[in-house]
Amino acid sequence: MTATAAKRRIGILIGSTRPGRKGAQVARWVQERAARRGDAEFEVIDLLDHPLPHLDEPLPALTGRYEHAHTRAWSETVARCDGFVMVTPEYNASIPGVLKNAVDYLHAEWTGKPVGFVSYGVRGGVHAVRQLRALCELLTMRAVAPQVSFFLHTDFKDRTTLEPGDEHATALDALLDHVVARTTDERPPTPTRREADEAAVRRSVDALAAAIRAKDLDGLRRRYATDAVSFDIDPPLQHVGIDAKLKNWANVFTYFKNPAYEVRDLTPTVADDLAYAHAFGRLSGTLADGTQVDGMWVRATLCFRRTDGEWLITHDHVSVPLDIRDGKGVVDLEP
């Protein structure tokens, strides 16, 4: 028996929720026409089944971290689709707020997927589609060119019941051809949640190095947890709390007119809200008297805790290897 590839799933999203909406009958027409095809499965997605409040997630959708059950349910519905037909009316020359809100809730669930538009309104809903197309493209969705537009006066009997002409069916077929075909295109990989977190840890270390170069103590304060414990390279044995850590940096800054800070081989590992990273670091630059110093490479281990969406350093450990014969630090090694 030959294995057959799983059919692609296309979500037909109804973009309006008001009582008496025409969106449901337009979506039904799309679904009935699509059901004649054998090349994909089609699922109507009704925002009435996902009563999302005005966006109430504390973290941006880009993080993929959702606090609320309604967001997770919405995420699962959108994530299981390989492409979309968005059915939208035009409200005040734009799309309904409920549709925009639903789009804003998510990010990776949309990216890279093909989307086509079916619109309706007094003038066919073309302004709404222009905006929705731009929104989808911003999310790096792949909007297809064929679209279907219904005019309230001519395509709805008594301005109430949809009566599509053959030209609409032809346009819908072309739209579906494009959406289904593009579901099998190579999609740019979307970062996993772990990759996104690791990138955020890297940005945090970049910000730390930038604050050192700028001798910016406030910027450094933002990188550490208030209860951070630092096993820094210079005495005492430990620096406990953010103020002790900053005192140490303030002391270093008195030596330098222009410090430079280089990080190499930064390797973060993230699990949930904790992360660690190891790297090599080198502080160099121009001393207060104008002397240029190359500094030395040190080994650094950084531990992070995610706090209010920011990766803060809770612990660091900086060292150089020892020559075990005389117990002296070896300061001339290169990574």
Ligand X SMILES: Cc1cc2nc3c(=O)[nH]c(=O)nc-3n(C[C@H](O)[C@H](O)[C@H](O)COP(=O)(O)O)c2cc1C
91 sits near ligand X (criterion: CB under 6 A): yes
Provide, for the chain, the percentages of residues in helix, strand and coil under a 3-state DSSP scheme, each rounded to the nearest 5. 35, 30, 35
22 sits near ligand X (criterion: CB under 6 A): yes
Residue 41 CB partners (closer than 8 Å, separation 6+) = 7, 8, 9, 10
Residue 247 CB partners (closer than 8 Å, separation 6+) = 239
- Among 11, 13, 16, 228, indicate the residue that binds ligand X (CB under 6 A): 16
- Among 2, 92, 254, 291, indicate the residue that binds ligand X (CB under 6 A): 92
Q: Which is nearer to ligand X, 23 or 281 (CB)?
A: 23
Shortest distance in whole angstroms from residue 300 CB to ligand X: 57
- Among 18, 72, 247, 264, indicate the residue that binds ligand X (CB under 6 A): 18
Shortest distance in whole angstroms from residue 277 CB to ligand X: 50
Q: Which stretch binds ligand X (CB under 6 A): 15-23, 59-67, 243-251, 297-305?
A: 15-23
Please state, in angstroms and rounded to a whole number, the distance separating the CA atoms of residues 247 and 47: 54
Please state, in angstroms and rounded to a whole number, the distance separating the CA atoms of residues 89 and 126: 9
Residue 135 CB partners (closer than 8 Å, separation 6+) = 95, 100, 103
**Residue 227 backbone phi and psi in degrees, to 5:** -100, 25
93 sits near ligand X (criterion: CB under 6 A): yes
Return the SS3 of 235.
Answer: coil
Shortest distance in whole angstroms from residue 158 CB to ligand X: 13
- Among 11, 23, 114, 285, indicate the residue that binds ligand X (CB under 6 A): 23
Binding mask 150-169 for ligand X (x = CB under 6 A): --x-----------------
Q: Which is nearer to ligand X, 90 or 197 (CB)?
A: 90
118 sits near ligand X (criterion: CB under 6 A): no
Please state, in angstroms and rounded to a whole number, the distance separating the CA atoms of residues 17 and 21: 7
Task: Give the binding site for ligand X (CB under 6 A).
Answer: 16, 18, 21-23, 89-93, 120-123, 152
